[in-house]
Amino acid sequence: MENIISVKNLRKSFKDLEVLKGIDMNIPKGSIFALLGSNGAGKTTAVRILSTLSKAESGTATICGYDLQKQADQVRNCISLTGQYAAVDEALTGRENLQLIGSLNHLPNVNKRADELLKSFRLTDDAGRRVSTYSGGMRRRIDIAMSLMGSPQVIFLDEPTTGLDPQNRLAMWDMVRELADGGTTIFLTTQYLEEAEYLADHIAILHEGKIKAEGTSEDLKTVLPQESVQLEFSSSMDADRACALLEGYSKNTDNENAGIMDVSTDGSAKQFADILTRLNDNGIPLVRFTQKRPTLEDVFLTLIGEKKESESTCKA
* DSSP 3-state of 205: strand
* pLDDT number for residue 90: 93
* pLDDT number for residue 225: 62
Superfamily of domain 3-221: P-loop containing nucleotide triphosphate hydrolases (3.40.50.300)
Residue ranges matching CATH 3.30.70.100 in the chain: 228-303
* pLDDT number for residue 179: 86
What confidence category does residue 290 fall into, taking pLDDT thresholds of 50, 70 and 90?
Answer: confident
Helix, strand counts (H, E) of the chain = 11, 14
Rounded Cα–Cα distance for residues 94 and 71 (Å): 33
Q: What is the CATH number of domain 228-303?
A: 3.30.70.100
Sheet architecture: strand order including 58-63: 17-28, 3-14, 58-63, 66-67
pLDDT (tens digit per residue) in 193-240:
999 999 999 999 999 999 999 999 989 988 776 668 889 999 989 998
Q: Which of 78-87, 88-97, 156-165, 224-233 has the highest mean pLDDT?
A: 88-97
Closest by Cα among 235, 231, 244, 228 to 315: 244
Residue 213's φ and ψ, nearest 5 degrees, are -165, 155
Percent of the chain with pLDDT over 90: 56
pLDDT (tens digit per residue) in 154-201:
999 998 888 778 888 888 888 889 889 989 999 999 988 999 999 999
What confidence category does residue 309 fall into, taking pLDDT thresholds of 50, 70 and 90?
Answer: very low
Residue ranges matching CATH 3.40.50.300 in the chain: 3-221
Compute the average pLDDT of residues 239-259: 81
Q: Which of 127-131, 179-183, 243-247, 269-273 has the highest mean pLDDT?
A: 127-131
62 or 258, which is more confident: 62
Question: Over the chain, what is the mean pLDDT?
Answer: 89
* pLDDT number for residue 256: 63
* pLDDT number for residue 1: 54
Residue 137 has, within 13 A of its CA and on its CB side, a CA count of 15
Q: What angle do CA 182, 177, 203 make, to 5 degrees?
A: 115
* pLDDT number for residue 310: 46
Rounded Cα–Cα distance for residues 122 and 11 (Å): 40
